[in-house]
């Protein structure tokens, strides 16, 4: 099957319509509802963390929650943008572009995990559809255990 040329709209944008472009630009990259729910619960458990911070200064990627002393980086991945095996549905419009973008995101996620682990960090990843209370409990238990192990 020959490679399909990258599609662009008549105005030169990546979006199929002006309305779609506005819609896509409105999607938040941080402070999503799942992130906020999990952060609120973790905070209520008495843990403090950095929000949308770089675990490693030389790595131009941010984690949703960073516990520096414990070296724990938490990512709450959106089902669409990170290719959830349960919920990802390939788009019908401009599918080549968006499917490739999601594939790049997944590849970058794995690279981020590898780099952080190699630097001594523990990476926790959760899907946006996972129950916030279970995610918060796992985060708290992991951070507390890492703090104990480091002392």
On whether the pTM is more than 0.85, the answer is: no
Residue 46 in any domain: the answer is yes
**Is the alpha carbon torsion for 61, 15, 130, 104 positive or negative?**
negative
Q: Is the pLDDT of residue 64 over 50?
A: yes
* Average pLDDT value for residue range 45-50: 97
Residue 22 in any domain: the answer is no
Residue 75 in any domain: the answer is yes
CATH code: domain of residue 117: 3.40.960.10
pLDDT at 2: 43
Burial class (CB in 10 A: 0-12, 13-18, 19+), 104: exposed
The DSSP result for 4-36, as a single string, is: PPPP--TTS-SSSSHHHHHHHHTS-SSS-HHHH
Give the C-alpha separation, 64 to 30, whole Å. Answer: 7
pLDDT at 54: 97
pLDDT digits over 92-112, tens only? 888 888 899 999 999 999 999
**Strands of 63-67's sheet in order across:** 50-53, 63-67, 72-77, 122-127
Please name the helix (run of DSSP H) or strand (run of DSSP E) that holds residue 81, with its range, or none.
Answer: none
Residue 18 in any domain: the answer is no
Q: Is the pLDDT of residue 6 over 80?
A: no
Total structural domains in the chain? 1
Residue 8 in any domain: the answer is no
Closest by Cα among 103, 47, 101, 35 to 74: 35
Residue 7 in any domain: the answer is no
Contact 51, 73 (CB under 8 A): no
pLDDT at 22: 62
């Amino acid at each position: 099957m020959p490679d399909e040329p990258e599609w662009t709209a008549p105005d030169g944008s990546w979006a199929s319509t002006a309305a779609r472009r506005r819609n896509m630009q409105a999607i938040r990259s941080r402070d999503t509802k799942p992130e906020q729910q999990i952060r609120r619960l973790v905070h209520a458990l008495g843990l403090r963390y950095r929000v949308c911070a770089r675990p490693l200064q030389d790595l131009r990627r941010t984690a949703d929650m960073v516990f520096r002393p414990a070296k724990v980086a938490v990512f709450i991945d959106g089902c669409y943008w990170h290719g959830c095996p349960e919920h990802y549905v390939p788009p019908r419009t401009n599918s080549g572009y968006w499917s490739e973008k999601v594939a790049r995101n997944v590849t970058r996620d794995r690279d981020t995990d590898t780099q952080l682990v190699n630097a001594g960090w523990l990476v926790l990843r959760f899907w946006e559809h996972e129950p916030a209370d279970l995610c918060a409990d796992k985060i708290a238990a992991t951070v507390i255990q890492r703090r104990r192990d480091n002392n």
